[in-house]
Structure 1
Amino acid sequence: MIGLGGKVAWVTGGGSGIGEATAGALARAGAHVVVSGRRQVELERVAQGIRAAGGSADAAPLDVADADAALRVADGIRAARGRIDILVASAGLNVPNRSFATLDTAAWDTIVGVNLSGVMYATAAVLPAMRAAGDGLVVIVSSWAGRHAVKLGGPAYNATKHALLALGQSLNMEECANGIRACVVMPGEVATDLLNQRAAPPPPEEVARLLRPEDVARMIRAVAEMPARVCVNEILISPTWNRNFIDPTPARPEPAAAIP
């Protein structure tokens, strides 16, 4: 592994959850981190926390679904820091009414705009400078639902998270000759605020067994610290106690054997 001293990392969705934890992890590895998201107060809290711990960080508010805004933020980072070495595209969302029966077109457009278009806009904004440098890493935070569609995710979430796999594969196919590599990280259930957006959030005793944001952040830091010759194309990571594999129906006792 190598340190990240002198590197500049841009983390979208950096105001909470996996993005926040990843920003902290990359800063501890020596990178200057810029956190973006829609909630400026939360971004400033994260950046201040990194600085208080001895790291280097700035906040840059952004609605990732706005392509022009993504370009402006990327240009601002390069103007201030001269480079963007790492993009972690972590912004994502879902809605409570997510089934075909309840999902309306406005909610579909919102999910697609953030989960898919938002990743593309940020990626497109950093690629020119990465090509010029002959080096760069794009980490795309997808989901377990990106590899294995789950009913709980709903059609829009499943579709966008699946599409991120194709986006990462396309990026590696087209840009590997330019020294740019992409890693798509597919976490299973993570104990973040997104759980509260579900119609029926898991109970506390189950939340306690899920992944933590810092677990995923450690994986992303490990990828970022790999030598430039290494491309970790995909990571599928889940809780050991994986609710996708466990039958939620309580086991019924076997009937007593008849006595002959």
Structure 2
Amino acid sequence: MSKMTLIVPIAADTKEGQEMPYLFGLDGNGLMYCVKAVTGLDLSVFDAVYFTILKKHSIQYRLAEMMRIQFERFGIADKAYVYELEQPTASQPETLYRTIVDNGITGAVLFKDADSYFTADVLCENTIYTYPLDSMQMVNPQNKSYVVIDDMYYVTNIIEKKIVSRFFCAGGYGFEDVCEFVQEYEKLSALPQLHLSHIVFSLLLQQAHFRPHMVKGYQDWGTRDDFQRNY
């Protein structure tokens, strides 16, 4: 497998005086949820793993120290990094873009959401990690991006928050070459409420190929309210 990097963005801003973002909290086994989110993957295939957070959160809650303890627990302390953003970004794609550019990341990448868990093989290609909506017992269908798959098993469409298929993105996007993401982000960065699904859709319009990859054991921690209700 060629060089591959895993990036987990956890840089959503919070208002002054609010409690620590829940994804930095611990489960019953002492695992930070944002770190637990990647433990269903074979972490040995990645050359580097980046968790991108806001510097103000890191300082206020001593997150870098906490996360490094977690990295040691999973044996990835030699290749896992906490990247601290000085200022909040306008979107998740901007957070990813800043991480890539500021750290000189090249090669294949996997973007993994911090608010979900699944098990899956890691593919070094353009991939959307998917899961069928009808397999979920509890889910908020309004906060997903939905994926249309053709008979040849290619992704033909991806739409934010509109149920056009039984398959939704489980929180993983793979790019065979991170340059594709960077170039597309730079073209679309001025759009309001930019999502990763918009970048993938734009690439699909340019005849780029994305394969769906069905995951197993999917868990959705969702929003703070969903998290409190389900966990």
Q: Which structure: greater helix fraction?
A: 1
Say which structure is richer in strand.
Answer: 2
- Please give the TM-score of this superposition, normalised by the length of structure 1: 0.38
Answer with 1 or 2: which has the greater Rg.
1
Q: TM-score, normalised by structure 2?
A: 0.42
